[in-house]
Structure 1
Amino acid sequence: MKNVLLASDDVHTLAWMRDALSRLDVEAIEIPPAEIKARLASLNAELIVVDGGRSPEVLAGIVESSAAEGGDTHLLLVIEPEALDALRLPVRMPSDFLVRGSSAAELAARARALLWPGEEVASQEVIRVDDLTLNLATYQAYISGEALEFTYLEYALFMFLVTHPNRVYSREVLLRRVWGSDYFGGSRTVDVHVRRVRAKLGPEISRRLETVRNVGYLWRS
């Protein structure tokens, strides 16, 4: 069993973290973010899940510098949607991130990938459609074995539609589900990301990503 630290000052975020990590063979230890620097080395944790809020780089830097003093700690940052553009993950330690509002299953999948890298991915975490392979645990997509270079939001939008097939979602719903409830940009950003996703998928696969006039988008399975 591996030790995992959960660092947040928010009780609801901690409950979400606990729910996610209960699916894995780990012992979860909760600490306030302010105590990361003082306690990280002594707790001998393989992974720390940190509520980074709107300034995740600050906490990421503390974790990275503390981990450098000893141990082999990995980092999983939880961030607000508006922090995406400025996010810079540590370069000296294995790390990943996800946006607040993601499911507990997604948090568990990302934690598993950091704790047990290289393990076989569960079948339900890999979706195959024609020549397309979508790995939900590693946020990777391939067509005929060739990796697709999606940005985070392109992938998140595409993943949401593929995992909720044959149902139309309006731009407003997609903004809430993918960008988060705190996003205040215009709904046309969805159109821009859909165009980019289609261009990267190519003409054959992109036909499944349909536009429903005056309503929104759906993925046809």
Structure 2
Amino acid sequence: MATLLLLSKRATAAEDVLPSLSLLNHKVQVVPAEASSLLEGPRVDALLLDARTDLAACRALCRVIQTTGKDLPLLVVVTEGGLTAMSSDWGFDDLVLDTAGPAEIEARLRLATTPAQGERDVIASGGVVIDEAGYAARLNGRQLDLTYTEFELLKYLVQHPGRVFSREQLLSDVWGYDYYGGTRTVDVHIRRLRAKLGPEHESIIGTVRNVGYRFVVKP
């Protein structure tokens, strides 16, 4: 069981921010989203920041947290729509959607609170290098500026080179069973991902007509 500190401007209960958290056996204390809460708060294993609204203020608080000297994992809770505003300069350790199920929340908490051992987990295929621990992706040495979902989508495809996935499969495995959006969101993210890969490399994400998408390893 982990002890968690949830910083939120509006919520007074953890289930208001992350409903599935109430299904897990963790001790959660909700405090105002301000730096003083860290200085006066109890000893905890990780921080959760409610960033479902007022992203500018949450970003500023993330940066303040880095200056407090508190060496604690920071997980930011966001909505699907807020993912596009996320970037590495926020200084968080991980992101979790407010609709995430208990299994995903537990996995992310475990990853964040477990001390890193050994080398980073790196996946490489067809010129794409995925650094899971650093949440970074590179194409032929060029850093890709990806959103959280774009990163997870690219990682999933690279992990299964040549295998074709339907839109429904990708929704289930990348977005999770908790996601209730339509399959069109997959097409939108694939289009954005291809744009960031660039015209010379966009074809590494291939379309299989009437089926879905796959990662293409070129000879």
Deviations along 1:134-171, whole A, 9 cap, x unmatched? 11122211123221222333222212222344443222
Residue 178 of structure 2 corresponds to residue 173 of structure 1: no
Q: Is the 8 A contact 1:198 1:206 kept in 2?
A: yes
Aligned residues: 198
Identity percentage of aligned residues:
32
SS of 2:70 mapped into structure 1: coil
Q: Given the alignment, which residue of 163, 179, 183 partners 2:159?
A: 163
Letter in 2 for 1:135: D
Q: 5 Å matches for 1:190-201?
A: 190-201=186-197
1:24 maps to what in 2?
A: none
Structure 2 unpaired stretches of 5+: 7-12
Note closer, same or farther for the CA distance 1:105–1:203 as it changes in structure 2 (3 Å cut).
farther
Give distance in 2, aligned partners of 1:129 and 1:71. 38
2:14 maps to what in 1?
A: 9
Structure 1 unpaired stretches of 5+: 19-28
Q: Is the 8 A contact 1:44 1:71 kept in 2?
A: no
The alignment's TM-score, normalised by the length of structure 1, stands at 0.62
Q: Is the 8 A contact 2:94 2:108 kept in 1?
A: no
Superposed displacement of residue 214, structure 1: 0.6
Q: Is the 8 A contact 1:56 1:83 kept in 2?
A: no
Residue 80 of structure 2 corresponds to residue 81 of structure 1: yes
Q: Is the 8 A contact 1:76 1:111 kept in 2?
A: no
SS of 1:32 mapped into structure 2: strand
Letter in 2 for 1:193: H
Superposed displacement of residue 126, structure 1: 0.6
Give distance in 2, aligned partners of 1:59 and 1:15. 29
Note closer, same or farther for the CA distance 1:64–1:171 as it changes in structure 2 (3 Å cut).
closer
Instruction: Give the root-mean-square deviation of aligned CA atoms.
Output: 4.3
2:27 maps to what in 1?
A: 30
Deviations along 1:94-125, whole A, 9 cap, x unmatched? 3244233347545544556xx77xx8643xx2
SS of 1:43 mapped into structure 2: coil
Q: Given the alignment, which residue of 85, 90, 96 partners 1:99?
A: 96
1:137 maps to what in 2?
A: 133
The alignment's TM-score, normalised by the length of structure 2, stands at 0.62
